[in-house]
Structure 1
Amino acid sequence: MLDHNLDFETARQMHTVLVLHFLEGQKQSEIAQKLNLSHSKVNRLIAQGRKLGMIKIHIETPFQRLMERERELVETTSLSTAVVTPTVSGNADTNLQQVGKAAANLILENVRDGDVIAITGGKAVSATVDHLFADRSFNVTVVPLTGGVQGKFYTDVNHLASRMAERLGGKSMLIHAPLFAESKAQRDMLKEMTTVKEVFDLARGADLALTGIGSIEPSGSSYYDLNPVPEADRKMMVGLGVSAEFLAHLILEKGGLANFELNSRLVALAPSEITGCRNVIGVAAGPQKVQPVQAVLNGNYLNSLIVDESTVNAVLEGMGKSQHVA
C-alpha cells in the first residue's frame, strides 16, 4: 500500500530508480553513476520501493497526475524535461522550497566533473542552492549570468554562486560589476573588462544554466529589488506588453525582448547568448509566475522547467487558450 504522505522528491527518485532497474534492466551500479547517487542509496530506494508496494506490473506512484502534467508540458512546448511539484494551498514558502528541492535534485542528476554551471539571482535559485546536498564533491566551476546587486541575499548572484560552488565542492568565479550600468556605453565598457568578459565567456558555454523567472507586475516582485522602478514606469512596462524578467531582461508576452531602456543598460548575458548551454533550467513557483512562465516558454529560452502544480495548470490553460485564438 502506497504511503500518500511520502515525500515528493523521495517518491520521484524512487520511481526513477525502479523504472531504470526493473523496466530498463540497468544494474544498480549503472543507475548510481547515471543519477550521481551512491550505490547504497540506490539499494535503499529499491528496498523501500518493494516495501511500499511500488513494484507491480507497472511502476505506481502517488503523484501520477504530476507526471501527466510533466508529459503535457514537454509535448506542447520546446522543453525536453519538466518537473511539477505538488502545490500546498496557502503556503507560498513551502511551494517555493519544494520547487527548489526538485531543481536541486535535477542539477545533481545532471552535473558532471568538469562542468561549468551558470546562475542568476532570485528567490527560487536561492531555494535551489539551499537544497543542494551532494553525495560527493564535483569538480565544477560556478559563474554568474549577470552583474551583481548587493542587498537581499537572494539578489546577490555572487553570493549564490559562491554558496553553490561550496555545496558542490567546486569553485566559483565572480562578476565584479553592477547589474545596471548608468548608460549603454558604460555597459559596453564594463562587459569588455577582462575579468567580466572572462566570466561571461564561460557562462555562454555553460553545461548547466540555472535561472529564475521573474514577474514585473506585483509590487513584491524581485525585479524591483534589482532596480527600483517608479510606479509610472511600471505601468508603462505593463502597457507595452512586458510580461516577465529573464536574466534581468524584460520579456514581452510572445517571448521577445522588450524595447525598453533598462534592457540596454544591463551588465548581463542576453537570453540568446545562452542557447549554446547544454541545459537551461528555469525554476518558478506561485500564481504571480503564470504569465512570466508563459512568456519565457513562448521565447523557447528553456530546456527544463521546474514549477508547482497550480502554476503549471494555469500556464497550460493559458497557452491552450492562446493557441485556440491563434
Structure 2
Amino acid sequence: MLNAEEKQFIIKICKLYYFESWTQEKIAVKYGISRPAVSKLLQKARDEGIVEIVIHDERPEAGELEKELEAAFALKQAVVVPTRDLNEDLIYSTVGKAAAQFVLRTMKQAERIGVSWGTTLHCAVKEFPFEKKDHVKIIPLVGGMGNDKTEIHSNQIAYELSKKLGAKCESLYAPAVVETEELKNQLVQLPHIASVLEEGKQIDLALVGIGNPFALSTMEQIGYLTADVLQELKAMDAVADINSRFIDKNGALCRHPINNKVIGMELEQLRSVKTVIGIAVGSHKIDSILAALKGNYLHVLITDEETASGLSARLREQPSHSKLSMEESP
C-alpha cells in the first residue's frame, strides 16, 4: 500500500505527464530521478487505480481510413492515429506512442531490427518504454549526416532504441551520401562498413521514415541537396526519399547519380525484408507516402489522421491506383 506522501508524489508526476504532456525525461530531470523510475511510477499509478485510461472512440473515420488504405495497397496493416485538434508537437508524440506500441507487439519474433532515420522515427523511439529484449540486435540502415540534427540520424536512433530494449546495437560509421560513386564503392568495401551492410540484409523488421525532398527536407537543410540537385530530381518526378534514396511518383527509383552515392540498404533489399513499417506524419508527405505505397516498399503504414484523410482523397482522384501486393511487385 502507498502511504499518503508516496501517493501525492505519484499524482504530481501523473498530472505533468497526462495533463501537461511532459516527457518522462523532463519529469525525471525535474525530480532528480531516472527515466525508468518515472516509467515505473506511471505504471504504479495505473496498477493502484490512481489513473484510469478510458478511450471514447466516437469517430469511425480512422478505422475506415485504415481499411481503405489496407485494401488499396494490400497492406498487412494501416494504423491511422486520431490527432485532430492537436498541435504539431503533440501530433508527433501521439503518432510516436502509437508506433512504439505497434512495434513492440510486432517485434516478438524479430531478432534483427533495422532502422532508417528521421524526425518521426526519433519521436517513436522516444516513446518506447524500457523493456528487456536482450535477444534483439538493432542495425542502422543508412549512414550518418554530419554534425547537424544528430538525434534523427540512423546511428543515433539505433543506439537509443537499443538502450530502451537492452539490446545489442551496430553503428554504420560512414556518411549517408558521399561525393562520388567511386568513393562510395571504396567505403563499402571497408570491413566494418561491409559487415554492418551485410547484417542489414538479414533483418526481420525495418522501421523507415518517408521524406519529401521539396518540403521541410532535412537532407536539404543539412546540405546534401543543392538547388541544382533538387531541380534535377524534380525533372525526374521525384517525390520521396526512403533510406536517403529518391523515388518518383510511381515508386520507381530515380535514375539520378545521387542514388548511387548512398551508403546504406538498397531499396530492392528493403523489399525482401519480412516486415517493413513506414512511419510518416504531415500532409506535405501525402505524395511521398503514395509513392512509397505504389512502389510496394511497405507492409505497414503508421500515420496521422489528417495525412490519412489526404491519402484517401488522393485515391478517390485516381481510381485506377495499383493494388499490387508485395509479392506482385516488379
Same fold (TM over 0.5): yes
Task: Work out whether residues 72 and 321 of structure 2, in 8 Å CA contact, stay in contact via their aligned partners in 1.
Answer: no
- Asked if the contact 2:282–2:304 (Cα under 8 Å) also holds between the matched residues in 1, the reply is yes
Which position in structure 2 is the counterpart of 1:307? 303
Deviation of 1:124 (Å):
0.5
Tell which deviates more after alignment, 61-70 or 300-309. 61-70
Q: Which residue is 1:128 aligned to?
A: 124
- Structure 1 partner of 2:167: 170
CA distance in 2, matches of 1:297, 1:51: 34
Aligned residue for 1:268, secondary structure, equals coil
1:224 corresponds to which letter in structure 2? E
1:198 correspondence with 2:195 = yes
Could you tell me which of 210, 213, 216 is aligned with 1:213? 210
What letter matches 1:122 in structure 2? Answer: G
The aligned residue for residue 22 of structure 1 is none
Shift of the 158–310 alpha-carbon distance from structure 1 to 2, 3 Å rule, reads: same
Q: Measure how far apart 1:149 and its partner are.
A: 1.4
Q: CA, structure 1 residues 237+110, in 2 after alignment: closer, same or farther (shift >3 Å)?
A: same
Counterpart of 1:207, as a letter, is D
> How far apart in 2 are the matches of 1:301 and 1:127?
22
Aligned residues of 2:132 and 2:167 also touching (Cα < 8 A): no
Task: Tell me the CA shift for residue 108 of structure 1.
Answer: 0.5
Q: Distance in 1 between matches of 2:152 and 2:127?
A: 18
The one-letter code of the counterpart of 1:170 is A
Residues 1-326 of structure 1: matches in 2 within 5 Å?
61-89=57-85, 91-112=87-108, 115-150=111-146, 151-218=148-215, 220-324=216-320
SS of the residue 2:192 aligns to: helix
Say if 1:273 and 1:133 are closer, same or farther in 2 by CA, change over 3 A: same
- Cα distance in 2 for residues equivalent to 1:79 and 1:261: 31
Q: So what's the TM-score if we normalise by structure 2?
A: 0.77
Contact 1:187 1:267 in 2 (8 A): yes
Size of the aligned set, in residue pairs, is 276
Identity of aligned residues (%): 25
Q: What is the rounded CA distance, in whole Å, between the counterparts of 1:115 and 1:75 in structure 2?
A: 29
1:178 Cα deviation (Å)? 1.0
Q: Secondary structure at the match of 2:122?
A: helix
Maintained 8 Å contact 1:88/1:94: no
Runs of 5+ in structure 2 lacking a partner?
A: 1-17, 19-42, 323-330
CA distance in 2, matches of 1:114, 1:270: 21
In 1, Cα distance between the equivalents of 2:98 and 2:272? 24
Partner SS, residue 143 of structure 1:
strand
Cα distance change on mapping 1:226 and 1:199 into 2, 3 Å: farther
Runs of 4+ off more than 6 Å: none
CA RMSD in angstroms comes to: 2.6
The 3 A distance-change label for structure 1 pair 233 and 115 is same
Against the structure 1 CA distance between its residues 280 and 139, is the aligned structure 2 distance closer, same or farther, given a 3 Å change threshold?
same
- Aligned pair in 2 of structure 1 residues 199, 237: CA closer, same or farther (>3 Å)? same
